[in-house]
Amino acid sequence: MRKLILTVFAIAVSIGAVAQMKSRWGSIDIRYPMAVEKVVGDTAVCSVVAWRGERVNLQLVVETGAKECAVEYKFSDLKCGRNIISAENIVGGFVQPVITDKFTGCGRHEVDAHGEVPVADRITGTNPTILDAGSCRGLWLTVQVPQSVNPGMYKGAVELVCNGKKTKLKYTVQVLDRVLPTPKDWKFHLDLWQNPYAIARVHNVELWSDEHFNVLRPYMLKLASAGQKAITATLIDRPWDGQTYDPFGSMVTWVRKVDGTWWYDFTIFDRWVEFMMSCGIDKEITCFSMIPWKLSFRYYDQATHSHKYINCAPGEEAYTQFWGGMLSSFAAHLKEKGWFEKTFISMDERSLQQMQAAIKVIKEYAPGMKISMAGNYHPEIEADIYDYCLDIFAYGAYTPELLATRRAQGKVSTYYTCCSAEYPNLFTFSDPADAAFIALEALAKDLDGYLRWAYNSWTVTPEEDSRFTAWPAGDTYVIYPFSVSSIRWERLVQGIQLFEKYKILLAEAKNLGDEARVVELEKLLRSVDIKKISTDSEAIVEGFGNVLNAM
């Protein structure tokens, strides 16, 4: 049953505060704190199953007594005979609340127009953590199982200390004799747009300084650990007309010289791309945008020593001249760097007529340059779009024949969700299982992956309030400042891992000629029914994983 579990700060006050801290294993598909009677029963041992190389999650629930408590937690090594999964492979922390609202669809509104509701999402690593008297919190664990570890039943424990009193909760990780590849080699095409400008603001560092790149690294390593494929780059200033709290600037400096000719400085672009590649993200460089939301292009005018704007639209001569010279220079630069084959001129949610006009300019001035688009399906330009991402309400245009043709041509076909879809989605009020379902939906529709427009386009105080002026709460980011994880993020990664495991098992069955196993896997795929996500996302995801682990 679909649940929105609200954070309650004085649960025990209403039902009688317990005398001392209690703890028990809970569910990763529930956002604690919650009503005490909803907590999963006093389970002595919690068990999860994993492949070698897989990340698995657990959540226990801590319920304080009549006094405030500084709860300290410690994760032990996981042991199976002489084999050990070091505690260094286990991270986690208490799941803290952030303000959310409810699904409102797209469109600007007052921040408090749809309510102010605390909900558990942000997984902090503060240790010890101060919990108020009579409060309830989830404690999240993520176990990274090494690829090299031997199969077996690994036993570990979480030790909790509150006001000098210790509690130990045991759990096991059954490691199967199967190996999940490293994230860089995952087949799932994940494309979450990065916002380095937001990181500069939150960390109060100078944009593109050495210090900026130093604070960027943990965020991008986290993104790489989920199998991210694309580098988000900007060719112009404010390609989305400042729709985010921290607007995107241009990574290319456009200069009109005194003699009227143009010069393009790619220094920042180069440094950003090289940095992202050093973090392990290097399959695509998606460059936004030849068709911004506001058709006004900023440049520096040497004659007047000031910034100016050219207002022009695709199809106009001024537009062709403005972009033609840049594309020629950009293509030559990319070839010199060895990046031309992986670079895309990228647009999102633009009309057919605008796309056709822009494509014409690209073909004339940068022949061979790849193009990507996220938006509606336009059959007239499908052949020109190498990486095509359709909205969840439009992806029915992907027929089996079209997908087969695109795949044979080496093209990428994905889908995206945004403010228009209530579920599956990654809002702060979304069911945790919805995040995992996202990858399963791509699998069920035979798509290559998933795109979302905002990895870290934060609100003013994202660790406190996830609401924004135009979209449902949490729409603008899935991780928190200082690379702090979230329930949404961890469950999204788990879903991607299920995608990889299914692909591995299916390929194995086909290679072995095991028709019975192929039929079984195809039947399993039919259980991923988006029509049932409003009520059964948890059961679908859990059942899917259980079947894969039993094979």
Provide the residue ranges of all domains of the chain, joining segments of one domain with +.
Answer: 11-178, 183-228+386-550
Q: Which CATH architecture has domain 11-178?
A: Sandwich (2.60)
Cα(105)–Cα(472) distance, rounded to whole angstroms?
Answer: 7
Query: Using only C-alpha atoms, what is the Rg of the chain?
Result: 25
> Which candidate, 510, 481, 464, places its Cα nearest to that of 222?
481
Within 8 A by CB and 6+ apart from 490, the residues are 28, 55, 57, 123, 140, 142
Express each pLDDT in 377-394 by its tens digit. Answer: 999 999 999 999 999 999
N residues, the chain: 551
With beta carbons less than 8 A apart as the criterion, state whether 451 and 92 touch: no
With beta carbons less than 8 A apart as the criterion, state whether 136 and 498 touch: no
Q: Which stretches of 341-429 are assigned E, i.e. beta strand?
A: 343-348, 370-375, 387-391, 412-416
Within 8 A by CB and 6+ apart from 192, the residues are 223, 226, 228, 451, 452, 454, 455, 478
In order along its 551 residues, the chain shows pLDDT tens digits of 344 443 333 333 333 334 578 899 999 999 997 544 444 445 567 999 999 999 999 999 998 888 888 999 999 999 999 999 999 999 999 999 999 999 989 988 888 888 889 999 999 999 999 998 888 999 999 999 999 999 999 999 999 999 888 999 999 999 999 999 999 999 999 999 999 999 999 999 999 999 999 999 999 999 999 999 999 999 999 999 888 999 999 999 999 999 999 999 999 999 999 999 999 999 999 999 999 989 999 999 999 999 999 999 999 999 999 999 999 999 999 999 999 999 999 999 999 999 999 999 999 999 999 999 999 999 999 999 999 999 999 999 999 999 999 999 999 999 999 999 999 999 999 999 999 999 999 999 999 999 999 999 999 999 999 999 989 999 999 999 999 999 999 999 999 999 999 999 999 999 999 999 999 999 999 999 999 888 889 999 999 999 999 99
Cα(27)–Cα(91) distance, rounded to whole angstroms?
Answer: 17
